[in-house]
Amino acid sequence: MGLTEKIFGTASSRELRRIAPLKNAVLNLEGTYRSMSDSQLQGMTGILREKLYNGASLEDILPDAFAVCREAATRVLSETPFPVQIIGGIVLHSGKIAEMKTGEGKTLVSTLPA
């Protein structure tokens, strides 16, 4: 590791620092969506679409969209995306490649940005 990497970090570590607030925002919404009924949770799709229609960007609604998807996965699949999987979803949403090993939940990760 060179001096520059020691001071500024690698490109990957800088990207992870950039993503951390988004990941934390998704995780902080867990209680909000966990307390909703199934019909309320389903209704969030329309609410998020309306926000997009009214000028919000995909990045603006990302924490809510990911948190809704995360709660839906918990209810329907009995599988909750872990924080590292949320990071993978954010990376994919950004149009980048996220390398994951076998068994780390790539299929579950792909539901988040979709």
Helices and strands (H and E) in the chain: how many? 7, 0
Q: Is 74 helix (H, G, I), strand (E, B) or coil?
A: helix
Q: Rounded CA gap, 71 and 33, in Å?
A: 7
Neighbours of 68 (CB within 10 A): 24
pLDDT for 59-84, tens place per residue?
999 999 999 999 999 999 999 999 99
Answer whether residue 7 shows pLDDT above 70.
no
Q: Is 6 part of a structural domain of the chain?
A: no
Range of the domain at 99: 13-111
pLDDT for 28-61, tens place per residue?
999 999 999 999 999 999 999 999 999 999 999 9
Average pLDDT score over the chain: 91
pLDDT at residue number 97: 86
Place of tokens 């990071």: 87
Q: Is 3 part of a structural domain of the chain?
A: no
Answer whether residue 113 shows pLDDT above 70.
yes
Residues 6+ apart with CB under 8 A from 78: none
- Residue 103: which CATH number? 3.40.50.300
Place of tokens 């790539």: 106
pLDDT at residue number 11: 79
Q: Is 78 part of a structural domain of the chain?
A: yes
Structural domain count, the chain: 1
pLDDT at residue number 4: 63
Count of positions (residues) in the chain: 114
Q: Is 48 part of a structural domain of the chain?
A: yes
Q: Is 5 part of a structural domain of the chain?
A: no
Q: Is the Cβ–Cβ distance between 41 and 33 less than 8 Å?
A: yes
